[in-house]
Amino acid sequence: MKRLSPDLWVPFLFILSLYFIPAISTATSRDIPKGQMIFEQRCAACHGFNAKGSYPMSKTLKVDPLVLDLTKPGTTHRSMVELQAVVSNGHYKMPKHREALTPRQIRAVVKYLRSLQTSLAYRSPR
C-alpha cells in the first residue's frame, strides 16, 4: 500500500478538524433549539408559547393568570439556579420535572425560557 504523501497530511488534518468544529463551538448555543422543543412540549400548555401564560389554563388550575406569566418581573429577577430548582422540584401547582427531564434538559429549557424573558419582558415606560 502506498503511503500518504506528507504534502497531503496538512490539508487532510485541516479538513478533518473542520468536522469537529460544530461539536466544540456550538455545544451551548444548540441548547436553545433543544430547550425550545422541551418548552413547547412540556411547558407551553400552562405558560404559553411566549411564556406569558395561558389564560384558559389559569381558569382550569384556579390560579391568577399572572402566576403563569413567566415574563413578569417577579420571575425574570430569579437566578438561573432558582428557575432550575422550581422546574426540577415543582412548586404548589407547578408539576415537578426531575423524573421527566435530565438536569441537562432542565438547564436547556430554563436557558430557552431566559431567552424568551429577555426578548419579551415587560419594560416600564419610565
- Applying CB under 6 A, the residues found at the interface with ligand HEC are 42-43, 45-47, 61, 63, 67-68, 70, 74-75, 83, 86-87, 91-95, 97, 109, 113
Kindly state the smallest distance separating residue 79's Cβ from ligand HEC, in Å: 11
- What is the Cα Rg of the chain in Å? 21
Tell me whether residue 9 or residue 49 sits nearer to ligand HEC (CB atom).
Answer: 49
Tell me whether residue 31 or residue 43 sits nearer to ligand HEC (CB atom).
Answer: 43
Rounded CA gap, 38 and 43, in Å?
7
Tell me whether residue 14 or residue 92 sits nearer to ligand HEC (CB atom).
Answer: 92
Kindly state the smallest distance separating residue 53's Cβ from ligand HEC, in Å: 9
How many other CB atoms are there within 10 angstroms of residue 48's CB atom? 18
Q: Do the beta carbons of residue 118 and residue 70 sit within 8 Å?
A: no
Rounded CA gap, 78 and 82, in Å?
6
